[in-house]
Amino acid sequence: MTIKRPRTIQIFLPTGDPSGIRIAEQTTSIIRLIEVPRSEMADFVKMPESKQVGLYFLVSGDNKDELYIGQSGEVGSRLMQHYKDPKKEWEHALVLVSLTNNLTQTHVLYLESLSIEKAKDCQRYDLSNDNSGQKPHTPIPLKADCDEMHSIGSLLLATLGYPIFEPLTESSPSKAEQVFICNRAGLKARAIYTNEGMVVLKGSSAPMLTKRKTEQRFFDKRDALLAKGIISSDGERFEFERDYLFQTPSGASMFLLLATSNGWQDWKTEQGVTLHEFQERTIDSVITQEA
């Protein structure tokens, strides 16, 4: 998890196209992250960074939620192998290199293993790696450097829209997060509203069928999460096997109800305060304190 404090991040567009290659750096760090759309691979291999030792992430899926993590002594050549392999489905590569070109094979082997471990812990992406990487013997000073690189890399990834190593909810005991419940139509669901959307918590459950008027798209979404193992079913109910992020409160409640819903009204605190009312009170409280 990236420590939250003020940072300055620079994003450079070498072609001027915001949907093309993007290069992100923290102004006080030597770590550089390059986002390469698959269609721009020819341009990337011309860049000097493609000849460097590097760590890379391949992202695919309709929701950009499928991930492969790898490393190479010459990252451009390795990505070209992935590019030419018709069985490898990916749309974006994210390449982590050093501005001073001082990464070694030991650095990236350690970073690969650490990244796979952290990505599994966060459970945001479906990881396609068959193993956990090769964790080499790493001297304490080198390990400290790698941990710092991973922290900066995590920040840069999240800045570009890939929060691979960011927990869905706050894990700090000093910051208690408000839990909202939805118990309509046999639901037993708990969730937390974050700046990314609504996180439905592990253990939340709902009936597999509904008597309400519904659409096929709700069943399609449910079946997709069943296939991925994010939810499980006993035939009558389905249950979340891990925390899962929905982009909106309504998206979360509609998924559970298998029908249309206004999540701002259907998610409530245990005291019956709707999410809309809770947010309104929070804003009013801040305005009052500042007055």
Region 202-224: mean pLDDT is: 90
pLDDT at 174 over 50: no
Pairwise pLDDT comparison (230 vs 169), residue with the higher score: 230
Answer yes or no: pTM beyond 0.85.
yes
Q: Is 290 exposed, middle or buried (0-12, 13-18, 19+ CB in 10 A)?
A: exposed
Share of the chain above pLDDT 90, in %: 77
pLDDT at 177 over 80: yes
Distance, first Cα to last Cα, the chain:
35
Q: What is the pLDDT of residues 85-95, one digit of tens each?
A: 988 889 999 99
Q: What is the pLDDT of residues 235-289, one digit of tens each?
A: 999 999 999 999 999 999 999 999 999 999 999 999 999 999 999 988 877 777 6
Q: What is the pLDDT of residues 21-42, one digit of tens each?
A: 999 999 999 999 999 999 999 9
pLDDT interval class at 214 (50, 70, 90): confident
User: Which of 240, 243, 246, 254 lies closest to 210 in space, CA to CA?
Assistant: 254
Cross-sheet strand order for the sheet of 189-194: 179-182, 189-194, 197-200, 244-246
Q: Check residue 13 and give its pLDDT.
A: 97
pLDDT interval class at 229 (50, 70, 90): very high
